Amino acid sequence: MSESAGHFEDERAGGAGGDSAHAVGELPAGFLLARVGEDGDPASFLELRRATDREGRGVRCDLSTIRLRGGASEARGMPVVRALGEARTIVDATAGLLGDAFLIAVAGREVTAIERSRVVYELAKDGLSRAMRDPVLSELLGGRLQLVHADARAWLAARAGTSSAPDAVLMDPMFPPKKRASALPRKEMVMLREMVGADLDAAELLRVARESARQRVILKRGDDAPELAKPDWSIEGTTVRFDVFTKNT
């Protein structure tokens, strides 16, 4: 289905529409997925919050909070983009709230962002739809970001060895809590981890991604997280690293 200038796909049988929790069916007890503001109001947004939280204090996808004063040139210098090398078509296999997918698309790459949690997908879809109505964000994205609701393992496996296989796959499994945290984790991460849990099948996704990608797989990990497999090299960020697996390994 398409909305405004954005492009969305739903690969769940039968699809689903709307922004209400009734269409989701995944919310744990005590959580709400609700719209703040009236439908049609440009300032309206979808948020995930605890039932005890005040309206407007929950988790939302808001791409306008990603500061890129240097636009595409600044995005191209980001570690996640540098880790992609010359890859032009990218699958973000764990899309979440689209932070990495946004940076990669602004840098000029074609991105398919895949999210399997229906709740997180609805949040991301709402955020992307609002971004596409924003003249500045829409121009930065240039129509290069597509959002899909699917299990990335099946999606990638179905395209392995075909002309629709991506050049590169990015993975960002849900991090386990840090062993020695220097600061409290963001409320956003706490709520999402509580809702979707840990990605216990990350090793399987890595295997499928390496079979499917034409050029490389990038695994984003916390700076103290153990390796899922031995990478060819890594790019270190401030609090994360990007493990790079090239196709010939």
CATH number of 2-17+61-246: 3.40.50.150
Q: Which of 93-102, 153-162, 232-241 has the lowest mean pLDDT?
A: 232-241
Q: What is the pTM of this model?
A: 0.86
Q: Which of 7-21, 97-111, 113-127 has the lowest mean pLDDT?
A: 7-21
Confidence band for 198, pLDDT divided at 50, 70 and 90: low
Query: What single-letter amino acid sits at 164?
Result: S
Is pLDDT larger for residue 211 or for residue 179? Answer: 211
Share of the chain above pLDDT 90, in %: 67
Number of residues in the chain: 249
Given a cut of 80, whether residue 196 has pLDDT beyond it is no
Q: What pLDDT does 180 receive? A: 52
Confidence band for 41, pLDDT divided at 50, 70 and 90: confident
Given a cut of 50, whether residue 154 has pLDDT beyond it is yes
Confidence band for 223, pLDDT divided at 50, 70 and 90: confident
Domain-wise residue ranges, the chain: 2-17+61-246
Q: Which of 28-37, 48-57, 126-135, 195-204 has the lowest mean pLDDT?
A: 195-204
- For 62, residues 6+ apart whose C-beta sits below 8 A from its C-beta are 45, 127, 130
Given a cut of 90, whether residue 107 has pLDDT beyond it is yes
Question: Are the beta carbons of 111 and 88 closer than 8 angstroms?
Answer: no
Given a cut of 60, whether residue 5 has pLDDT beyond it is no
E strand or H helix at 210: helix 202-212
List, for residues 119-135, the tens digit of each pLDDT value: 999 999 999 999 999 99
Distance CA 95, CA 205 (A): 13
Largest CA-CA distance found in the chain, in angstroms, rounded: 52
Q: Which of 38-42, 45-49, 143-147 has the lowest mean pLDDT?
A: 38-42
Confidence band for 14, pLDDT divided at 50, 70 and 90: very low
Given a cut of 60, whether residue 12 has pLDDT beyond it is no
What is the pLDDT of the chain when averaged over all its residues? 85
Question: Are the beta carbons of 111 and 99 closer than 8 angstroms?
Answer: no
Question: Are the beta carbons of 113 and 95 closer than 8 angstroms?
Answer: yes
Share of the chain above pLDDT 70, in %: 84
Given a cut of 50, whether residue 36 has pLDDT beyond it is yes
